A = this chain, B = another copy of it.
């Protein structure tokens, strides 16, 4: 899965601060991940990935972030 999360309307073109919670969640998720300049690639079962995507998305909301755009791409071979 690849996931990219963008807070909208933050008042600053840099969103580094707003998405910093992502790194903490990833560090503790127990799945292999790779952070790129365009998003994060994570490997896992579908259950694990959907649960993680949900958590990552939720964590970007805050007192100052009222809108979040999340783009997910799942490439699943069985």
Interface residues in chain A, defined as those with a beta carbon under 8 Å from any beta carbon in chain B: 2, 4, 6-15, 34, 36-39, 41, 46, 50, 53-54, 57-58, 61, 66-78
Contact = CB atoms under 8 A, between A and B. Distances in A.
Nearest to A74: B70
Q: What's the number of copies of this chain in the assembled complex?
A: 4
B15 A9 contact: yes
- Which of A58, A76, A78 has the most CB atoms of chain B within a 10 A radius of its CB? A76
Contact of A13 (B2, B46, B67, B70): B67
Contacts of A73: 4, 38-39, 69-72
Given A15-B8, A38-B41, A75 B69 contact: yes
A37 B58 CA distance: 21
